[in-house]
Amino acid sequence: MTAHIVRDTQRFVAQVFCMKTTWFFGLILALYIVSFFTMKRWTTLPYGGDAWGYYAHLPSALLYSDIGTYDSTIAATRKYDPNMADPKADLYGLRKTPVGKFIIKYPIGVPLLEVPFFYIAHARALASGGEYAADGFSRPYMMWAGLGAIFYAVLGLLLLWRILARYFPRSTVLALVLITAFATNLYYFSVYNNVMSHPFLFFLHAALIWTTIRFWEKPGGWRAAAVGAAAGFIAITRTQEVIAAIIPLVWGLTNWASVRERARFIGANWKWAAVAVLAFSVVLFPQILYWKTVGGSWLYFSYQGETFDFRHPHIKGGFTDFRNGWLIYTPVMAPALIGLWRLRHSVPAAWWAFWAFFPLHVYITYSWWCWTYINGFGSRPMVETYALLALPLGAFWQWGIERYWKKALNWAALLFFIWLNIFQTWQLREGILWTESANRAYYLGVFGTLHPDRNSLIAYDSGERQPNSSRLTPVRELLHLDFEDSTAANLTTTPVFAGRYALSPADEFNANAELRCDTLGLQPGDWLRLSVRAFVPGADKIWNRDALANLTVEFVDPEGHAVKLRGIRITSKIGNPGNSIWDTGATDQWGEAVFFVKVPTRYRADGKIKVYIWNPQRQKLIVDDLRVSHWRK
């Protein structure tokens, strides 16, 4: 009787635990889905860029059978986005191969995982009675592609829970899953920019670690096959991630004696190793078949014109640059790195696996030519490492947790980082924050703000925070160009801001002026105020902010080397009441572009200061009344 009572009690406790876990992940799924529909990026996301490249495999293979040409797939996309860049000419689209066909450079892992959701969408379109076209790109397809990414992200979080539950108490596991789900950029790539490889890779890495743990606990053929299949899917989702296959080989090793024992085990159980390799190969085969079919080779590098530079990796920038630096935009992962000193104590089985995989992953990731990885929120390729990094993060969380102050600090930090991550995701959606081209001054200028001000807009352009001008005193004017010399080139008489003439800066460098520093009385720490009036005719309005002319100042040493260079886009300061970095300015009205530049500490009195309007894209505008003045605290 007692034994039955004990068993029933254990079963009841297990059911309660499972039910609570189910509700917990149901809540995460619900919050992800609510965020997904609230942010509404899914309606147009797969119509261009990386997202189109991954997704286009599906309609091409399952609807149009145009692999190698993609003409029908491109035509179907253009029904919804007539202005889409030509994928056959765009960096993020197709590449022509030596056999005369076109190849999608992105691997096929993501579309393979998305197949069930594509067919759900296809069934919905067919059942809509003509409301939605069954063409692979109408609204149901876009929605279910995004929901598929959420499904795999949450499934990865569930696997992460199971991994962590083997090493940490329930409260710590709960905190670590919450951190991963809501305080990292996994959230951004799952609910907003989510038809890319990263949420899928997070799931696959979690699956690889989970199947690895299960295999070494109780080796067997099916478990070996699961390990091989997980590694294979990782390889066909992001090719360089094939290095993750090293994790199962070294998981659980703690010393050199265990290495020798592992080698003996594999030698004695080579059939299981063969099963894992076979599963890996079976999963890999569709990718190499695709390469052979459209590229003419079983192994084909589809990223033509894009390379790794292994001699000059940008690891420091990849971690801390304000252009998508990993720890800048996912600071909650800094404690994971700190927790490495406790990992060997908390999770000894992961110690060698971490050091075998993570440094190599970082080295390869930041050796890529575009190490900032644009198109994202923080460093995209680090998302897939969170299943592994959760272990040292857990070690950090557990350290000193018995102390009340440490426990309180942990939970306070968790809440702050969750708020920060979700808030900055919202800022990205609103166009307030744009991480791929940010800088320190701009990041600090918009930190925590709902409404950017003019200073943050200037900081985005110049990379320098603006001073409080009320605390500065004007010393004297150093330069005034009124463009009233009728013999100068590129002058116009209409419209003008003042006088008879204004300048139409049709060259790349315009209004060039040089100031000799020995005549200016400047000191390091002083400020220059630069301003210019500008006008854009309505017919010459442009929408590309990167094509705008800049008011530029350059501090030059006696040898001609630039000591400091700053500039701002001119016409984006005309109008633009919301101070948006995306606004290229109002037309048919005069406005003033003005900014301050601090005199650098390396300022040389025997150097020069160059002031000019830089217009490399030959924007059509008119400028007048260019001024430079000296200000001091």
236-263 per-position pLDDT tens digit: 999 999 999 999 999 999 888 888 988 9
294-342 per-position pLDDT tens digit: 999 999 998 888 899 999 999 999 999 999 999 999 999 999 999 999 9
Query: Is the pLDDT confidence value at 22 over 70?
Result: yes
The secondary structure element, H or E, covering residue 509 is strand 509-516
Q: How much is the pLDDT for 6?
A: 46
Query: Is the pLDDT confidence value at 4 over 80?
Result: no
Reported as a pLDDT band with limits 50, 70 and 90, residue 3 is: low
Provide the angle, in degrees to the nearest 10, between the axes of the packed helices 270-295 and 256-268. 80
Reported as a pLDDT band with limits 50, 70 and 90, residue 40 is: confident
Provide the angle, in degrees to the nearest 10, between the axes of the packed helices 198-217 and 221-237. 160
Coil, helix or strand for 531?
A: strand
Q: Three-class SS string for 89-129?
A: CCCCCEEECCCCCEEECCCCHHHHHHHHHHHHHHHHHHCCC
- Given a contact cutoff of 8 angstroms between Cβ atoms, the answer to whether 99 and 116 are in contact is no
Query: Is the pLDDT confidence value at 155 over 80?
Result: yes
CA pair distance 333, 341, nearest whole angstrom: 14
- Given a contact cutoff of 8 angstroms between Cβ atoms, the answer to whether 136 and 73 are in contact is yes
Indicate the domain borders of the chain: 11-40+42-423, 455-632
Q: What is the mean pLDDT of residues 203-214?
A: 97
Query: Is the pLDDT confidence value at 384 over 50?
Result: yes
Q: What is the mean pLDDT of residues 458-479?
A: 95
The residue to which tokens 């520093």 are assigned: 517
431-458 per-position pLDDT tens digit: 999 999 999 999 999 999 999 999 999 9
Top pLDDT among 7 and 356 is at 356
- Given a contact cutoff of 8 angstroms between Cβ atoms, the answer to whether 43 and 99 are in contact is no
- Return all residues near 125 (Cβ < 8 A) that are at least 6 apart: 132, 133, 134, 135, 138, 140, 141
Flag the least confident range among 276-280, 342-346, 587-591.
Answer: 342-346
- Given a contact cutoff of 8 angstroms between Cβ atoms, the answer to whether 113 and 55 are in contact is no
Instruction: Give the side-chain half-sphere CA count within 13 A for 342.
Output: 20
Q: What is the mean pLDDT of residues 514-535?
A: 94
Q: How much is the pLDDT for 281?
A: 97
User: pLDDT above 90 covers what percent of the chain?
Assistant: 81
User: pLDDT above 70 covers what percent of the chain?
Assistant: 97
Reported as a pLDDT band with limits 50, 70 and 90, residue 625 is: very high
Query: Is the pLDDT confidence value at 17 over 50?
Result: no
Query: Is the pLDDT confidence value at 382 over 60?
Result: yes
Q: How much is the pLDDT for 455?
A: 95
Q: What is the mean pLDDT of residues 407-420?
A: 92
Top pLDDT among 23 and 112 is at 112
Query: Is the pLDDT confidence value at 182 over 60?
Result: yes
70-100 per-position pLDDT tens digit: 999 999 999 999 888 888 887 778 999 999 9
Q: How much is the pLDDT for 610?
A: 96
Q: Three-class SS string for 20-34?
A: HHHHHHHHHHHHHHH
Query: Is the pLDDT confidence value at 208 over 60?
Result: yes
- Return all residues near 388 (Cβ < 8 A) that are at least 6 apart: 205, 209, 247, 350, 353, 354, 357, 358
- Given a contact cutoff of 8 angstroms between Cβ atoms, the answer to whether 164 and 176 are in contact is yes
560-588 per-position pLDDT tens digit: 899 999 999 999 999 999 999 999 999 99
Reported as a pLDDT band with limits 50, 70 and 90, residue 402 is: confident
Query: Is the pLDDT confidence value at 16 over 50?
Result: no
Query: Is the pLDDT confidence value at 37 over 70?
Result: yes
CATH superfamily of the domain spanning 455-632: Galactose-binding domain-like (2.60.120.260)
